[in-house]
Amino acid sequence: MVGRGALNIAGHNQTYFFHGDKYVKINWAPDQYDDSIQYGPTEFAKEWPTLKEAEFAQVDAILPIPGHQYRSYFFCGSRYARIEFTPSQSGDQILGGVRPIKGNWLSLDKAGFTTVDGAIQVPGHSDQTYFFSGEHYIRVRWTEGVIDDELLEGPIPITRLWPQTGFNKIDTIIPWPGLSDGAYIFSGDEYVRIRSIDSSKDYTPPGQNSIVSANWASLRNAGFY
């Protein structure tokens, strides 16, 4: 687990990137190469009381909760916490405690996922998510705060979802701002933009991978790549 969670900040051209025990907030926009550090890098335990309370050593993945701009599931190793926060302000809080994945995400249990590397909403379905762990992904239907999630698809090798990327695992994934079903996928020292998370609709050609440190000055300057 590399601890590279990321979260777009709703209503802003900004994203939180986590790496190890640190995080940085960056300004950026798709198709531009003028990204900059808005804040950080700094140890997230100093700025996120919830993550300190949860005793998270890193943030592996973040799942935004539809219908709530600033509420997300944060995953660390075999545990997770549902957190409500306000950007650039204190007062973030854990909702429902810190829990083990096992026994609380039935779909992940069924798939044999003990940890989560990335998560992103299925386009057109506010109650469905793609979860990634190791070299596989699954599609899950779920309801916030309720243990009744359902495994709809998988586990399936990631190479079958986006063969053109050449990635067999991912470190993090974030929605492409302004493109309803697009995404930015990070794996190792590379990233790629895909036009559609649904591989049957995607027309991203092969060979589009780029080196993160070459195109994301903010992440390079933060020492994250």
Dist CA 133 CA 130 (whole Å): 10
What digits encode the pLDDT tens for the residues 104-124? 999 999 999 999 999 999 988
- Residue 78 has which token pair? 């075999």
CATH of 6-221, one of 2.60.40.10, 3.40.50.1370, 3.40.50.300, 2.110.10.10: 2.110.10.10
CB distance 13 to 5 below 8 Å: no
pLDDT, residue 180, reads: 79
Gap between the Cα atoms of 26 and 82, Å rounded: 23
What does pLDDT average to over the chain?
92
Maximum distance among all Cα pairs of the chain, rounded to whole angstroms: 44
Burial 182-219 (b: 16+ CB within 10 A, else e): bbbbbbeebbbbbebbeeeebebeeeebeebeeebbbb
**Which residue positions in the chain have pLDDT lower than 50?**
none
Closest CA to 149 of 111, 95, 204: 111
What is the domain partition of the chain in residue ranges? 6-221
DSSP output for 27-54: E--TT----EEEEEEEEHHHH-HHHHHT
Type and span of the H or E element at 158: helix 158-161
pLDDT in tens, 57-97: 999 999 999 988 889 999 999 999 999 998 877 788 999 99
